[in-house]
């Protein structure tokens, strides 16, 4: 009898404690709304990032610049998706050969170590990137040499004229680090940096920058916290930023609803409906720059029927773009081909681009009247919340109408990317997220270039195309560039191994007591602009 009573009382005690903790936890969570208990203005952001490194000279991830922009200074920064704005650069001169760029930089900018930012730091930074041979180094390839005539002047000599150079400067490959501090911790900009530089580890827990924030702590896959830099040369509207890794979208939504996070970065077009009409929450859609496309391998041995240009055009004509647009959400765009809306000369498709009769005719002409089977590789991934498997099933459905039986095979994104980079895929869905906001970056789709190679599109004999490519890359006159861009797109529209699906919008959901929130493709959120009321 006694034993039983004791057992019961123990159980009751335990249950009560658990319930008490649970209940207590629930209530404290709901009461917060921007700012922690001690009065500091802390911004809490929920995200599902791919952050691998906080060393800007190694970074190549989508969320990289969100952090690098906050910690480091750049000569130029992009806000609006097309025009770079001078940041650290006070003046810019381009010589007649179009290869030498001279910049004067701001004076009196201090790194978090106390050292002053001078031209030697710029030189060190860019040379470090070049010699590290990291994932982001190819952006600096075109830089022949850097001179520093005085403490506040930097002269870049390029190998070839580059119309997108200023835009590239806004990419983390040109982030300016404190050369003294980095050297102290094993960094080097010498030719053997790729094997001798050991500063990355230190940079993953400390920042050596002059940006609006200083790195407080980084626990990979858990959270990142930044603290305001009191000596920053521009305004910072809050004191602290905490970025929490919340891979589950629903959790992000719930946390946003209850004010546990102020901004949710992982929300996509499909689940944003949960937040419509939600009190205290604002939703905004922005035109993004990431495009999802279908790749059809030109090599007959790999692509089979997909290598046939008539089949490729049939695929393009068979897709129901109107429905695609519908599922892709507000602010989604149908780019004509390689140039997204917002980039120089970007053209769009009409909603009625689809032409099933034409598609069927082309299939017949190609000799596939009865259709064929093909493996369709679709990674388990999503672009801005739009699930590829959903898109893939939609495409499969559309293609069935012209006789193509696309057998969907899903895989993890890492595995698919590896196969895609080797050009081994016959028919796959992929996305392209620009490294920097300029049409030059989109030229990778052309034959012989990065993505072209992956589609085994190697025939570079088309002189017209080569000419247009050169113009776009080097011409500094906006109008001439735009005209060349449009001509190139029209040239490609019916003759390329791709089918461009949709340019995805970015959905941003945030608490309505925030001001200054805007979404930018490169840095996602410009933390220093966001104020909490």
Q: Give least dist CB 409 to another protein, A.
A: 6
* Smallest distance, another protein to C-beta of residue 267, A: 10
Q: How far is the CB of 91 from another protein (least distance, A)?
A: 32
Please tell me the distance from the alpha carbon of residue 73 to that of residue 57, in angstroms, as a whole number. 13
User: Which CB, 32 or 82, lies closer to another protein?
Assistant: 32
The number of beta carbons lying within 10 Å of the beta carbon of residue 522 is 25
- Closer residue to another protein in complex, CB, 155/375: 375
Residues in the interface with another protein (CB under 8 A) total: 87
Site string for another protein, 131-150 (x = CB under 8 A): --xxxxxx------------
Among 82, 153, 271, 531, binds another protein (CB under 8 A): 271
CB atoms within 10 A of CB 412: 10
Interface positions, 287-316, toward another protein (CB under 8 A): none
Residue 327 near another protein by CB under 8 A: yes
**CB closer to another protein out of 87 and 328:** 328
User: 435 to each of 83, 267, 336, how far by Cα in Å?
Assistant: 14, 22, 20
- Nearest CB to another protein, comparing residues 154 and 443: 443
HSE at residue 447, side-chain half, CA atoms within 13 A, is 19
Q: Can you read off the two tokens belonging to residue 248?
A: 């589950």
Cα-Cα-Cα-Cα dihedral sign, residues 511, 513, 519, 520? negative
Q: Which of 61, 245, 486, 487 binds another protein (CB under 8 A)?
A: 245
Token reading at 125: 């930074």
CA dihedral 29, 32, 35, 40 (to 10 degrees): -80
Q: Does 367 bind another protein (CB under 8 A)?
A: no
- Cβ atoms of 216 and 226 within 8 Å: the answer is yes
* Least Cβ distance, residue 459 to another protein (angstroms): 21
**Residue 372: φ, ψ to 5°:** -160, 170
Give the nearest distance from C-beta 17 to another protein in angstroms.
9
Q: Contacting another protein (CB under 8 A), which of 64, 84, 268, 505? A: 268
170 touches another protein by CB under 8 A: no
**Is 159 among the residues that bind another protein (CB under 8 A)?**
no
Q: Which of the ranges 72-80, 266-274, 308-316, 511-519 carries the binding residues for another protein, by CB under 8 A?
A: 266-274
Around Cβ 107, how many Cβ atoms within 10 Å? 12
- Give me the half-sphere count of Cα atoms (radius 13 Å) on the Cβ side of residue 8: 5
**Residue 221 interacts with another protein (CB under 8 A)?**
yes
Instruction: Kindly tell me which residue out of 113, 331, 410, 474 binds another protein, with binding defined by CB under 8 A.
Output: 410
Nearest to 236 by CA among 245, 223, 227: 227
């Amino acid at each position: 009898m006694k034993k039983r009573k004791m057992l019961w009382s123990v159980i009751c005690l335990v249950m009560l404690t658990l319930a008490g903790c649970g209940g207590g936890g629930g209530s404290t969570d709901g009461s917060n709304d921007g700012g922690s208990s001690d009065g500091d203005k802390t911004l809490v952001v929920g995200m599902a990032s791919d952050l691998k490194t906080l060393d800007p000279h190694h970074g190549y991830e989508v969320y990289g610049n969100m952090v690098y922009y906050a910690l480091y200074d750049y000569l130029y920064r992009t806000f609006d998706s097309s025009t770079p704005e001078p940041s650290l650069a006070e003046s810019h001169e381009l010589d007649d050969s179009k290869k030498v760029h001279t910049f004067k930089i701001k004076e009196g900018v201090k790194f978090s170590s106390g050292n002053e930012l001078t031209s030697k730091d710029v030189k060190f930074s860019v040379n470090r990137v070049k010699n590290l041979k990291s994932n982001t180094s190819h952006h600096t390839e075109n830089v022949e040499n850097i001179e520093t005539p005085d403490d506040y002047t930097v002269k870049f000599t390029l190998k070839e004229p580059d119309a997108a150079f200023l835009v590239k400067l806004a990419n983390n490959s040109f982030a300016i680090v404190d050369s003294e501090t980095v050297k102290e911790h094993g960094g080097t900009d010498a030719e053997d940096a790729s094997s001798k530089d050991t500063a990355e580890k230190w940079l993953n827990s400390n920042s050596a920058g002059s940006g609006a924030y200083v790195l407080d702590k980084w626990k990979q896959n858990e959270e990142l916290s930044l603290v305001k830099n009191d000596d920053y040369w521009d305004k910072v509207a809050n004191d602290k930023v905490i970025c929490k890794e919340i891979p589950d979208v629903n959790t992000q939504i719930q946390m946003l609803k209850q004010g546990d996070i102020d901004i949710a970065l992982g929300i996509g077009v499909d689940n944003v409906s949960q937040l419509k009409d939600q009190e205290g929450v604002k939703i905004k859609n922005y035109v993004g720059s990431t495009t999802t496309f279908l790749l059809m391998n030109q090599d007959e041995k790999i692509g089979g029927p997909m290598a046939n240009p008539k089949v490729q055009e049939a695929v393009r004509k068979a897709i129901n773009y109107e429905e695609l647009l519908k599922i892709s959400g507000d602010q989604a765009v149908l780019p004509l081909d390689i140039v997204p809306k917002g980039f120089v000369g970007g053209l769009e498709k009409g909603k009625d681009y689809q032409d099933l009769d034409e598609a069927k005719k082309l299939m017949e002409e190609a000799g596939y009247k009865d259709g064929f089977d093909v493996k369709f590789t679709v990674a388990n991934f999503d672009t801005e919340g739009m699930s590829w498997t959903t898109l893939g099933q939609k495409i499969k459905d559309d293609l069935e109408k012209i006789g193509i039986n696309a057998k969907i095979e899903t895989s993890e994104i890492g595995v698919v990317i590896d196969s895609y980079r080797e050009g081994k895929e016959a028919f796959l869905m992929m996305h392209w997220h620009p490294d920097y906001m300029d049409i030059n970056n989109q030229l990778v789709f052309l034959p012989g270039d990065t993505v072209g190679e992956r589609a085994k599109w190697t025939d570079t004999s088309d002189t017209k195309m080569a000419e247009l490519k050169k113009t776009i890359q080097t011409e500094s006159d906006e109008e001439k560039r735009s005209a060349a861009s449009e001509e190139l797109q029209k040239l490609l529209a019916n003759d390329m191994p791709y089918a461009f699906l949709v340019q995805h919008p970015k959905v941003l959901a945030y608490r309505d007591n925030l001001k200054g929130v805007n979404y930018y493709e490169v840095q996602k959120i410009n933390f220093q602009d966001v104020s909490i009321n």
